[in-house]
């Protein structure tokens, strides 16, 4: 009998994109080398009490100095794509203006190394490491920051557009806006609702401006944005809880999906926000919504979990409470393991927004891994997580979602933002004392799965 928790490697289309993902600040280290300027994360990490154990990205996985062996590591997994991000403060240290050749050279070597190994580079322009100088000038709540990102995008597309054809503008604008300027858990650690909605609008504008740079400079580019999305379910069938789930969806999902797909901001949310909305703040100018809603080639989705919510009058501006689901499994981050929600989410996106293509640009889990005496890493829970989510991805394809690829988060254990090095997401274990890399059991499983999925296909 078919085990629905086991993905069928032969059920994915030929030429499906199979990858692993990372981001610059989380892996590179070399934070003060070759002309890189500080980012808001360097500053945040240096602020006592912000990051667990006072950890920072000064060294991280030392990827900057281990490029060639890390390229071999990526190749050893058998992926056909690698998603990474470019550090803006490395490439344009002053935030705008003169590019730094040493910074560009690193990414040029990374791209060449991938292509030499038959691996398609997927480049994310912005994964949260804003140059500190731009934060000093006001950061994402200021419109100028979006314009600066557009200029930075022109620099990167100019330098790498001859070889990089897959572009992601912004990683998770929701997190950058609401964890950076709303709940203060991420850099720069502000806590102001109006500011966070201003940041949100300018991150979307930055997406649109980056898209223009990509279209202008990269012939044949495939370009899109990556959103963190989580399907929202009502705790009960009551109309109150159903309305609460719609509000949760409005904030977490539609707030980004609607404008990116050219519909402008969802009116129910604009009304709910009142004075905090970008409209009421006077931030939505002239052609902003056309810029933001320009056609993309794909939607990238980072999917980790779902939310289950109840109506809770008086709780936050959404009047919603997130519930822990009795009997469900949770990962080390206390995120519910909810693979069925991946299928639901993809089918809903296809139905409601009809994207030309859908990619899972991140999916993964953190667990306390056990390293055995012989150095092997046992992470059976992570393996199960990947199996369940890849099976759910298969079901989405069967159901008609235009799935074109999947990236596991992450290639290797790395700097997990406010959690420092305490939470591990890698399919490769990193010993942060020695920088030794060891493929975990989940990594071996993924490698073997990819080998079967790509059997008989030309490299």
Please state the residue numbers annotated as binding site for substrate. 26, 127, 171, 304, 409, 416-417
**Distance, CA of 207 to CA of 224 (rounded, Å):** 9
Q: Which DSSP state fits 138?
A: T
Nearer to ligand GBH, 151 or 330 (CB): 330
User: Do 83 and 124 contact (CB within 8 A), yes or no?
Assistant: yes
Residue 117: CB minimum distance to ligand GBH, A: 24
**Distance, CA of 163 to CA of 317 (rounded, Å):** 45
**Distance, CA of 203 to CA of 194 (rounded, Å):** 14
Please tell me whether residue 199 binds ligand GBH under the rule CB under 6 A.
no
Please tell me whether residue 172 binds ligand GBH under the rule CB under 6 A.
yes
Nearer to ligand GBH, 83 or 201 (CB): 83
| Only segment of 33-41, 88-96, 169-177, 253-261 that touches ligand GBH (CB under 6 A) | 169-177
Instruction: Write the binding mask 3 to 32 for ligand GBH: x where contact by CB under 6 A, - elsewhere.
Output: --------------------x---------
In 3D, which of 46, 24, 213 has the Cα closest to residue 123? 24
Through-space distance between the first and last CA atoms of the chain, rounded to whole angstroms: 33
Please tell me whether residue 123 binds ligand GBH under the rule CB under 6 A.
no
**Distance, CA of 31 to CA of 64 (rounded, Å):** 9
Non-local CB neighbours of 2 within 8 Å, separated by 6+ positions: none
Q: Choose which of 126, 181, 233, 304 interacts with ligand GBH (CB under 6 A).
A: 304
Residue 2: CB minimum distance to ligand GBH, A: 31
Residue 454: CB minimum distance to ligand GBH, A: 26
Of 172, 195, 336, 381, the catalytic one is: 172
Number of residues that bind ligand GBH (CB under 6 A): 12
* CA–CA distances in Å: residue 459 to residues 138, 271, 403, 449, 453: 46, 51, 20, 16, 12
Provide the angle, in degrees to the nearest 10, between the axes of the packed helices 143-160 and 193-217. 30
Please tell me whether residue 362 binds ligand GBH under the rule CB under 6 A.
yes
Nearer to ligand GBH, 409 or 445 (CB): 409
Please tell me whether residue 336 binds ligand GBH under the rule CB under 6 A.
no
Residue facing ligand GBH at closest CB distance: 228
Structure tokens at 367: 């667990």
Q: 223-262: which residues touch ligand GBH (CB under 6 A)? A: 228
Q: 374-433: which residues touch ligand GBH (CB under 6 A)? A: 409, 416, 425
Nearer to ligand GBH, 29 or 293 (CB): 29
Angle at 110 between CA 432 and CA 135, to 5 degrees: 70
Residue 23: CB minimum distance to ligand GBH, A: 5
| Only segment of 46-54, 170-178, 187-195, 262-270 that touches ligand GBH (CB under 6 A) | 170-178
User: Do 341 and 305 contact (CB within 8 A), yes or no?
Assistant: yes
Q: Choose which of 171, 196, 277, 341 interacts with ligand GBH (CB under 6 A).
A: 171
| Only segment of 45-53, 67-75, 168-176, 352-360 that touches ligand GBH (CB under 6 A) | 168-176
Q: 33-62: which residues touch ligand GBH (CB under 6 A)? A: none
Q: Which DSSP state fits 174?
A: H
User: Do 39 and 25 contact (CB within 8 A), yes or no?
Assistant: yes
Nearer to ligand GBH, 248 or 291 (CB): 248
Instruction: Write the binding mask 308 to 327 for ligand GBH: x where contact by CB under 6 A, - elsewhere.
Output: --------------x-----
Give DSSP secondary structure letters for 280-342.
Answer: TTT---TTHHHHHTS--SEEEEE----EEEEE-TTSTTTTEEE-PPTT--B-TTS-B--HHHH
**Distance, CA of 239 to CA of 235 (rounded, Å):** 11
Nearer to ligand GBH, 17 or 228 (CB): 228
Nearer to ligand GBH, 201 or 423 (CB): 423
In 3D, which of 250, 245, 286 has the Cα closest to residue 268? 250
**Is 172 in the active site?**
yes
Q: Choose which of 157, 200, 291, 302 interacts with ligand GBH (CB under 6 A).
A: 302
Of 195, 336, 362, 419, the catalytic one is: 362
Non-local CB neighbours of 428 within 8 Å, separated by 6+ positions: 73, 411, 412, 413, 437, 438, 439, 440, 443
Q: Is 170 helix (H, G, I), strand (E, B) or coil?
A: strand
Q: Which residues bind ligand GBH (CB under 6 A)?
A: 23, 171-172, 175, 228, 302, 304, 322, 362, 409, 416, 425
* Catalytic (active-site) positions: 172, 362
């Amino acid at each position: 009998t078919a085990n629905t928790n086991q993905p069928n490697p032969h059920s994915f289309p030929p030429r499906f994109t199979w990858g692993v993902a990372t981001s610059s600040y989380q892996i590179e280290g070399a934070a003060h080398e070759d002309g890189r300027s500080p980012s808001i994360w360097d500053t945040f990490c240096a602020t006592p009490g912000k990051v667990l154990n006072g950890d920072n990205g000064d060294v991280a996985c030392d990827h900057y100095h281990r490029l060639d062996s890390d390229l071999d590591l990526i190749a050893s997994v058998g992926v056909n794509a690698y998603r990474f991000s470019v550090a803006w403060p490395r490439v344009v240290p002053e935030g705008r203006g003169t590019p730094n050749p040493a910074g560009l050279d690193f990414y040029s070597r990374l791209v060449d190394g991938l292509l030499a190994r038959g691996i398609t580079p997927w480049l994310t322009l912005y994964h949260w490491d804003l140059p500190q100088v731009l934060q000093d000038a006001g950061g994402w709540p200021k419109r100028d920051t979006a314009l600066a990102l557009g200029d930075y995008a022109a620099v990167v597309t100019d330098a790498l557009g001859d070889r990089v054809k897959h572009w992601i503008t912004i990683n998770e604008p929701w997190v950058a806006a609401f964890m950076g300027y709303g709940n203060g858990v991420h850099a720069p650690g502000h806590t102001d609702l109006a500011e966070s909605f201003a940041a949100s609008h300018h991150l979307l504008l930055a997406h649109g401006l980056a898209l223009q740079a990509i279209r202008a400079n990269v012939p044949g580019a495939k370009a899109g944005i990556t959103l963190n999305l989580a399907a929202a379910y009502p705790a009960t069938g009551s109309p109150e809880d159903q309305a609460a789930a719609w509000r949760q969806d409005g904030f977490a999902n539609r707030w980004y999906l609607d404008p990116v797909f050219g519909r402008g901001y969802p009116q129910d949310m604009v009304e709910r926000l009142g004075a905090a909305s970008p409209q009421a703040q006077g931030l939505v100018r002239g052609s902003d919504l056309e810029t933001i809603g320009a056609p993309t080639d794909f939607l990238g989705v980072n999917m980790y979990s779902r939310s289950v919510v109840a109506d809770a009058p008086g709780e936050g501006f959404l009047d919603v409470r997130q519930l822990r689901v009795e009997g469900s499994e949770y990962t080390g981050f206390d995120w519910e393991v909810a693979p069925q929600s991946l299928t639901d989410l993809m089918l809903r996106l296809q139905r409601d927004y009809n994207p030309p293509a859908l990619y899972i640009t991140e999916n993964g889990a953190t667990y306390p891994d056990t390293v055995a005496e012989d150095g092997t890493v046992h992470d059976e829970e992570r393996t199960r997580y990947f199996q369940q989510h890849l099976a759910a991805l298969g079901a989405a394809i069967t159901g008609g979602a235009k799935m074109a690829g999947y990236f596991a988060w992450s290639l290797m254990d790395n700097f997990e933002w406010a959690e420092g090095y305490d939470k591990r997401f890698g399919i490769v274990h990193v010993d942060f004392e020695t920088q030794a890399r060891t493929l975990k059991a989940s990594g071996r499983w993924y490698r073997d799965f990819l080998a079967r999925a790509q059997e008989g296909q030309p490299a």
